[in-house]
Structures are given as C-alpha cells and as structure tokens.
Structure 1
C-alpha cells in the first residue's frame, strides 16, 4: 500500500498520508499554522461533530439526503464521538477564517470514514458517495457551525462547572456553622479591627459565590440561543426553510440541552455578546475565588510567625530545602488558575470586539479560551473544596487572643467615653505597651465589672450598642 494518496482542491494537489482520515484542506491548515502544541479542545471537536450528526438526520427527514449517505454520516460521526479518530483532528488552536479549517477537518474525517463504511477506501478518489462539502457540510457554513459549536460546548461544560461551584458553596456553609462560635479580630487595611466570628467570614465567602448562580443561569439561557441555519451571512441561503427549527429540535432531543432558535440569526453570527457575558461571569467568580484563597492563605500563615488562625490540610511537603515546611498548596494552585482564567476572559473580550460586519473571525481562539476557563476553573474549585476547605481547622485560642488584644476593642467604649478619649486610650496603649484594660482601669474611665460586660466578645459580633448595665 502506498504511503500517500493524492488529493485535489481548488488550489491544486497535495500528498496526504494514506492512513489519514483528514484530507487536503486539513493538511494545508496544519502546514499554515504550526503555532502551538495545542489542537482544538476535544469538547469543541465533539460539539462540531454533534452538529454534523444532527444535520445528517435533519436532511434525511427533509428528503434532502438519501438514507444511505445520511446513515453513513451518522455512523461515522458516532465513531468520532467515541474518540476513535482523535489523532486525525490536527488543526492548531490558532488558525484563520473563523474556524474554516476546523470545520473542514470535521467534514473530511467524517466523509472519509462514512465512505469506508460504504465500502469505499480512503485512497479511492473516484466514485465516492459522501462528499465533505456537499453532504457532511450540507446547508452549513463555518460561519454558523462554529458559533453554534461554541454555544453547544459551553452548554456541555456548564453543568459540571456549576456543580463544582455549588459544592464549594456548601463546604463554605459547613465551615460557617462549624466556626460560628469562634471570635477573632477583624482586620481592615490589614490592621486591627473590631471582633468578628470566623464563621461570619466563611459565610461571607459563600454568599459572594452564591450571587453568581443566577448569573450562570442567565448565561446558560443566552448560550442556548442557536443560530445554526444562518448559513454564510445569516440569511439562510441554500438552507431549507424548515432546517433551522428541526436542527434545534434535533440538538435538544439528542443532547438534552435547553436550546431554542436564535431570535435574530444576524446577531447570532455577528455578535458574541453571549460568550462575553459567560466569560465575564466566570471571570467574576475567579476574582472572588482569588480573594478567598488569599484570605485563607493569610489566615493560615505561620505556624510560628504568621496569623495561624486556621490550619490547612497538609497535602504535600512544601520545600525541597526546608524540612517540615508545609505550604498552602491548594490555595496557591487556585490563585494561578484564577489568574489564567482572567487572562482568557480578557482575550475573549478583545476577540469579541474584533468582529466586523457579518462575522467575527476570531472565534477559534474564543472557543478554546471559553472551554479552557470552564474546565480548569471547574476542576480547580473541585480540588480546592475536597483537598482544602473541607479539612480546614481553626485555632480557637489563638483567634480569641487576637480579638482580646486588638486595639480596636476600644471601639466598644465609644458610646461611654466618646471617640476622642477612646483614641487617647488606644494611643497610650500603643506607646506604653499596656493592654487596653490596664489603661482604661488606670484612668478610672469605667468600672472593671462594667468593662468585662462591654468587652464580652460574642455580643460585639452582632448589631447592637454596648451597654455596661
């Protein structure tokens, strides 16, 4: 058997490896774009192939594609979806033309395999029954397939992403209850502040993340508006009038996603505002997670020279030179993932504004970045929840010591001696190294029994005006 087969397109002939299921257009793209080591994400390929599969079924139902070819395309697509031909999707993430190369890669692989299933080997270039453009790509354009695939890929990944987020929220809520009775010093500007409960801090983290759940629902709704059937420019040229509705119904039936026809097929092709909204919701979550991870790292700093208010699970040795050192590894991992997600989101924003007239040609990069951000942040949240949050332990004694020795405890005396005198007490305590209690009692500003009541920590963590009696 020859090592290569000769294929021809509008630009001429090329030698394609004999065993390759991709064809001449995919080969040209690989030669044109040797940019990175990264190929299209498997979820993106999966989404494109699902669209090809749906189109074959719809065309069969409409009488536009005979059963033999349609069934062969569906069978070939199913094999691709099983991962049997992953190595034949060869296009770099960074490519041209809104994803034409990626679309043709799918068309060629499916067509070659469909022909094989019909008894026609890849090297036979005459008498082929399934054509990559005329049959696999029938009624389609890269310009409606790729934006639809971005939306379908997002809908596939969002349930797992949301599950990871909800599990983290639940873990934080559990810590809110566990730590509710532990009083510590609050810190604003990283300086001593009034007492708070450790549980209140964790509850705040949970609430901040919960606020993104309805935003994710909005993003899912927007990403479920599919513009498949817009063809090359949104007009639906060369598309059967019933194709659009039947395609959405087929995708919904086969994949189970809540999808509808786009209200405007021009907008679905021109604009990626739904992808921008999704990426910025995910970026917002990353911003909150960065803040939470930083707080946890700070509270766990030590164990001898830091805050040491909480102890994180030891997941691995922390140093190649300092014996016994344990680092906040999971929080550091989460930080790095969040930074990468913010970079992806920024890239998506730039790519979205680069659309011109009827099309945005920057979609391959957008697809990669949206898929990556959903995948890596979802995985990072899951790992951080199971390997860090659930195992966090508090040091109640150390937390209480900080609260009792915080100079901001003097705030509780504002209603008794006034702000100015309270400030003098704090200033003297700093200058002399004495405790607030010692300074207050020495100045006879309040009786010791009343001071005990005013400095009762737990009531100070709830709304109320401190009273001596």
Structure 2
C-alpha cells in the first residue's frame, strides 16, 4: 500500500510503512552526503520531540490548538522521547536549509504517529497537519537550534560524569603513588625529584579544571530562542506562546531553560556553540598531552623510560613476539585529534553565517555531539582500562633519582651555584652519584649530604 502526499513542487507516492512524509523524502534525495541519518544522534531526536511537546502543551494552555490534536501530539512526542520511532528520523545529519529537513522530518513523524493515535491513517493531514498543527507558532529557525542546545546540554552532562570518573581514577593512583619518588623532567631533560603521586594529582586537577570550563559553556546553551520563529521577531506565533513553550520545555527537559534576552540575536548568533567547542578543544588538547605523558613514562620498557607499567590489553605486533603497545592512550589521542579538527569545522561554520541566520548549524550540531560523546567514552575507557591498572617500577624510579645530576640543584643554597654545577657536570661525565662526589671531595659531611639529598624531602620541600 502507498499513499500520496503533495508539496509545493508536486505529488509523490510514499511507502505506507514509514512515518515520515514528502518533505523528508525530498531531503533523502537531495542530501545523500554522509550516510549518517539524524538517528545517530538520539539526544537530538529526543530534544526535537521535547520542543514539539512543549509547543503542543503551550497551545493546550492557550486553546489555540484543538485539545484532541494537542494531546495526540504530546503523546506521540513522549513515545519518541522514550526511544520509539528513532529509525524514522532518516534525513542526513548534514543538510542545506539550516536544519529545515530535520524539523520537517520531526513534524511528519510526530503528525503521522499522532494521526494513528487518533484513529486515522498516516497521511490524512486534514485531521492533523505536520505544519499547521505540529509546527504551529514555530519555525525551523527557533525549533532546531533550541533542540540542538538541549541535546548538547544533556550530552555534556554525561561527559562531565565521565570526566569525574577519569579524575577519580587519577586521584586514586595519586594516593597510591604518594611516596613513590621519581625524577621530574623539563624539556625532556632530568630536573629535580618529585613523586609519581604528584604527577597523577596534577592530571586529576587538569581534568577537574576543564570540567568546570565545559560546565560553564554547557550552561550557556540553556538560553533559547523558542518563540522567535523565522528571524526572532515572533511572526505567526500565538500571543503568549513563547513564554508558555519555554516554561513547558523547562519542565520536560528538567533543565533551567530560559528565554533568550534578544530573540533576534539568539537566532543568528552561535556563541554558545563556539564556547562549548572551545572548551572541548581545550580539554582534548590537555587530555592528549596526558596520554602522551603516560605513553612516554611507559616507553620501552627496556630501552625507554619504563617508569610505569600500563595494563596489558592485547598483543602489540603481528611480527614481534611479546610486544605490548599503549593502545588505550593511543586510542584516546585519536579521539582528541578528532575533537580538535571538529572545533576547526565548527569555527568555520560559525563565521560563515550571514545576517539573521546561520545556515550551517547542522554541521555544528553533528560535530559537537560527536565530540562530546566521544570524549565521554574516551574518559571512561582511559580510566577503566588504563589508569586504574597502572603500576610503578619503584626500583627503577628510585635508581634514576639517586643517579641524577639534578640532585645537585638541592645543594645550591649551601655550596652555591658554581660548585653545585661542577658536581653536576662531574656526575654526568663519570656516572658517580652527586651524593658520593660531594662526600668524596669534602664539599659536605656525609650526614649533611644525606639530609640535603633525601629524595622524598626534595619532592616535598615544604
């Protein structure tokens, strides 16, 4: 069985088994770009349904939509938010029209499911129409960005939970290694002693600080332009709709959504997306640096630093027996590189907007949702399959400290920079430890050297 639907271009036959309609069909034909349907972002689908539900509830309050229709729309939206009909959101994630195809797809799916609930056949739009009813008092230009912001805020919440998992893993290892002395390095050269715990505590603080930055960026997305319709002036919106729709959306989303201070600015501006993208980029860069550090500290193990041992997860070579690679930090590195690239795309799309609308929000939505979700997965995997299982080679760490010329730094206040430099140079040239050289050459008494060069005291001078 097939049904016919009509738009401004003409008439098309629709498959009877689908909930979407002619506008979605046009989009499928026009934008076969990525092969990724809108359903790859279930948060966005749920957010679109939340916006449409809020709109229907506003009309129910105002009496601007027949009660039977409004309640059917609400029921259909709640089914979609519960995970039903996800496979009906089929338009490509990248599309022309500033998200019009995504909004049309949502309107049609909701309308046809609502028609079923009312006892009518799909496509019998004289009983409930995708545009006149589901889209009443709305435009793609306020629906789509509002839904994207909701979806991103929700996804960012999951990322923040994932970052907490990673931070806690670093904190736990920091405590476990609190008395494990090692040699710090600057410019990849020997520096002064520290503890491995201090190194992991620093990682934990980095994650916490970046989580705070991401939280602030995500919260800025809660200012929405719903009710602004086409360009922010509110043309064709029923009186009182904007206020009520935002009120209901706040309840539905369980988030403190608020009306934009200026609907025109909010419709054309993408500042919230840029703030979130920048915060994600910062975290990605710093997370990648931490992964590089873990790989470097575990390098070798015989011919590298070999200070820590990462969990062995899989064979590392098809030709070299026994080789094990730092696969988890490497995988997370690649997620981070992807996020940095996505930020460049989001930035380009943001500046390409013109006048009262940015036509490139679908690309921003796609990249930002990918970035948030991939970083979330990366944090949880790095914590569970790498960080919590890291071990220290205590003997090697202590030996590197005791043989380091960097220990001479601690003698500066006692014997002066010049004499300390001479000891450091001789240590490097001969391999004789600074402690032994200082005693042998009569620079300091043995008991004095032992106190001054105690590694744990040097790692915690205060």
Q: State TM-score, norm by structure 1.
A: 0.94
Task: Select between 324-333 and 180-189 the one with higher mean Cα deviation.
Answer: 324-333
Give the secondary structure class of the aligned counterpart of 2:228: coil
Q: Which residue of the partner structure matches residue 426 of structure 2?
A: 428
Q: Which residue of the partner structure matches residue 147 of structure 1?
A: 145
Q: 2: CA distance between counterparts of 1:338 and 1:79?
A: 35
Number of matched pairs:
460
> Residue 423 of structure 1: CA displacement?
2.0
Structure 1 segment 12-51 matched on structure 2, within 5 A? 12-40=10-38, 41-51=41-51
Q: 2: CA distance between counterparts of 1:441 and 1:155?
A: 63
Give the secondary structure class of the aligned counterpart of 1:277: helix
> Residue 408 of structure 1: CA displacement?
0.9
Q: 1: CA distance between counterparts of 2:148 and 2:461?
A: 48
Q: Is contact 1:318–1:325 with CA below 8 Å preserved after alignment?
A: yes
Q: Is contact 2:312–2:324 with CA below 8 Å preserved after alignment?
A: yes
Q: Is contact 2:76–2:113 with CA below 8 Å preserved after alignment?
A: yes
Q: Which residue of the partner structure matches residue 83 of structure 1?
A: 83
Deviations 1:245-273 (A, max 9, x none): 21111111122112111111112111110
Q: 2: CA distance between counterparts of 1:119 and 1:138?
A: 22
Deviations 1:26-48 (A, max 9, x none): 11111111111212222111111
Deviations 1:167-213 (A, max 9, x none): 21122111111111011011111111110111111111111222123
Q: Which residue of the partner structure matches residue 111 of structure 1?
A: 111
Give the secondary structure class of the aligned counterpart of 1:326: coil
Q: Which residue of the partner structure matches residue 268 of structure 2?
A: 270
Q: Which residue of the partner structure matches residue 196 of structure 1?
A: 194
Q: State TM-score, norm by structure 2.
A: 0.95
Q: 1: CA distance between counterparts of 2:382 and 2:278?
A: 21
Give the secondary structure class of the aligned counterpart of 2:3: strand
Deviations 1:256-306 (A, max 9, x none): 112111111112111110111112112211112111111111111122222
Q: Which residue of the partner structure matches residue 374 of structure 1?
A: 372
Q: 1: CA distance between counterparts of 2:183 and 2:84?
A: 58
Q: Is contact 1:39–1:90 with CA below 8 Å preserved after alignment?
A: yes
Deviations 1:218-271 (A, max 9, x none): 223311111100000101111123111211111111221121111111121111
Q: Which residue of the partner structure matches residue 417 of structure 2?
A: 419
Q: Is contact 1:310–1:392 with CA below 8 Å preserved after alignment?
A: yes
Q: Which residue of the partner structure matches residue 454 of structure 1?
A: 452
Give the secondary structure class of the aligned counterpart of 1:361: coil
Task: Select between 194-203 and 444-453 the one with higher mean Cα deviation.
Answer: 444-453
Q: 1: CA distance between counterparts of 2:278 and 2:413?
A: 45
Give the secondary structure class of the aligned counterpart of 1:372: helix
Q: 1: CA distance between counterparts of 2:433 and 2:170?
A: 35
Q: 1: CA distance between counterparts of 2:310 and 2:363?
A: 37
> Residue 102 of structure 1: CA displacement?
0.6
Q: Which residue of the partner structure matches residue 93 of structure 1?
A: 93
Give the secondary structure class of the aligned counterpart of 1:151: helix
Q: Is contact 1:120–1:128 with CA below 8 Å preserved after alignment?
A: no
Q: Note the aligned Cα RMSD (angstroms).
A: 1.7
Q: 2:136 aligns with which of 132, 138, 141?
A: 138
Q: Is contact 1:115–1:128 with CA below 8 Å preserved after alignment?
A: no
Q: Which runs of 5+ in 1 are unaligned?
A: 465-469
Q: 1:282 aligns with which of 280, 283, 294?
A: 280
Q: Which residue of the partner structure matches residue 467 of structure 1?
A: none
Q: 2: CA distance between counterparts of 1:354 and 1:49?
A: 28
Q: 2: CA distance between counterparts of 1:463 and 1:268?
A: 53
Q: Is contact 2:193–2:459 with CA below 8 Å preserved after alignment?
A: yes
Q: Following TM superposition, where does structure 1 have runs of at least 4 consecutive aligned residues deviating by more than 4 angstroms?
A: none
Q: 2: CA distance between counterparts of 1:403 and 1:166?
A: 32
> Residue 438 of structure 1: CA displacement?
4.2
Q: Is contact 1:152–1:224 with CA below 8 Å preserved after alignment?
A: yes
Q: Which runs of 5+ in 2 are unaligned?
A: none
Q: 2: CA distance between counterparts of 1:216 and 1:81?
A: 25
Q: 2:242 aligns with which of 241, 244, 250?
A: 244
Q: Which residue of the partner structure matches residue 180 of structure 1?
A: 178
Q: 1: CA distance between counterparts of 2:254 and 2:89?
A: 26
Q: 2: CA distance between counterparts of 1:245 and 1:408?
A: 66
Q: Is contact 2:53–2:73 with CA below 8 Å preserved after alignment?
A: yes
